Amino acid sequence: MAKHARRSFARYTIGTSRKVKRAAHAGGEAVLPPVMESRARKIAASAAALAMAGALALPVPAWAADWVSIDGNDYTQAASGAGSGGGSWSWNGKEDLLLDDYSGTGIGAGGDLVITLEGENKVYGETSYDPATGMTETVSGGVWVEGGDLTITGDGSLDVSRENEAAVVTWGGDISIEGTTVSATTTIDDVYLDLSSKGAITAEDGSIDIIGSTVDATWNDKGDHTGTILAIYSTSLGGSQNAGTIDIIDSDVTATVSAPDRKGENLDWAQGIGTFSNTKGTAPHVNIDKSTVDVSTPGGAALRAWSRSGEDSGAINIYDSTLPEGSSIRDVNYDPGFGVPFIGQVLATGSGTITEVDDPAILSSAHIERIADPVDPVDPVDPVDPAEPAEPAEPAVLPLAPEKAYAATADDAALPATGDAATGIVATVAAAITAAGATLFGWRKMRDAGK
């Protein structure tokens, strides 16, 4: 499946050729006559053009899913079935998975997966934690993809919930939510010990696109845990140059982090929507374009984009949407003492560069409102002056009374019927032209005979 368009574009350059004059005999080469050489060049150019056109016409290869896991069962060939809680699903053996009022446990895939939604769909699941081993075991749950892109689209909706793991997640691929409705909820239990950064919707070493959609992402954190928690999270960790970007375009997004048991500095690492990169050459971005976004966290940052690559700074871009009053996008340069600072941007009040992660100017909650399209003005109606006398109405024109009917006579046959007048005129003109042409032709014939 083709990658989705972003704000950066690859540029392709086609070199120009130039003519080089050579001696008639150079190095023993066979030299063609000028005409044949010209034709050969044209044939070669045409062949190259056809080859290029054919190459461009070929579809870009996609890494379609070669296996899926649905409702606790694994499949490597096209299959369909019913959800354990109702509805149905159908996989074409490649990248297309249709959910129709599906209700069941987790859905996973290896490779690109496009989920098309019809009706109301629900995916639920859970993981179990073993205190004896300190390990969290995934039983089933959520929607996840390994080594590929995940696209969710369609006229229906999808409600995904999961425990102790991201509800919607890719490892090494992008997430695209296009023209649909998605709700993703992650709940963390009070003995969960995984300190890695996670979000309810997470693209690990990938990017996230939310386009023309309604998305609700919620992270419920129980217990006083450490580590970064987010509602929507994108990272670039393994060297991918396209990862670590979140694009929200023409959408309504709600991002909520709830962590009632977290205390002190642990709250500083809560984020509503965030991106992170430690890859050189990759600058993480949060782009919000013509969208309404509501973000709520108990502390930390509503929006944050930053990097520890040592070179590239994260950035937040807001287009055709309004920021909370008194706020702006501010630079961050925070050094936790490990030698490589976090550099990027956050949404905050005030001005200047922020150097502390717990700076009170950083907004932990925010409402960003899309700017509505201007309404075309309506031409005003001239007001009527009550003192001005109204113009008299035009007198009504009554139709003429029909003539008295009479019996048809022989003379009536010579009268043209309704609609025949124009036809008669055209026929008369045509006959006159024909006669004139015949006369002219005859005159020329006699003239030539007399010569």
pLDDT for res 381: 64
Report the DSSP beta bridge partners of residue 254: 216, 294
The count of other CB atoms within 10 Å of the CB of residue 115 is: 28
CA pair distance 253, 183, nearest whole angstrom: 10
Instruction: Tell me the CA distances in angstroms from 303 to 37, 143, 283, one per residue in order.
Output: 65, 24, 15
Task: Give the H or E element holding residue 366.
Answer: strand 365-370
User: Domain boundaries in the chain?
Assistant: 80-370
CA pair distance 284, 245, nearest whole angstrom: 5
pLDDT for res 53: 46
Cβ proximity of 332 and 315 under 8 Å: no
User: What tokens were used for 96?
Assistant: 């297309």
DSSP 401: P
Residue 75, phi then psi, degrees to nearest 5: -135, 140
Task: Give the H or E element holding residue 435.
Answer: helix 421-449
CA pair distance 108, 110, nearest whole angstrom: 7
Query: Which one, of 256, 267, 266, lies nearest residue 231 by Cα?
Result: 256
| pTM given for the model | 0.69
pLDDT for res 329: 97
User: What tokens were used for 356?
Assistant: 């502390």
Amino acid at 224: D
pLDDT for res 22: 30
CA pair distance 296, 217, nearest whole angstrom: 11
Report the DSSP beta bridge partners of residue 208: 175, 246
pLDDT for res 345: 96
Cβ proximity of 112 and 152 under 8 Å: no
Query: Which one, of 175, 292, 280, lies nearest residue 234 by Cα?
Result: 175
Strand ranges, E, within 242-309: 245-249, 252-258, 270-277, 285-289, 292-296, 301-307
- What does pLDDT average to in each consecutive run of 10 residues of the chain (451 residues)? 37 28 33 42 48 43 84 95 96 97 96 98 77 63 93 98 90 96 89 69 94 96 78 80 87 94 77 88 91 94 89 91 96 87 94 93 96 76 61 56 42 41 45 47 46 46
DSSP 64: B
Cβ proximity of 229 and 259 under 8 Å: yes
Cβ proximity of 311 and 280 under 8 Å: yes
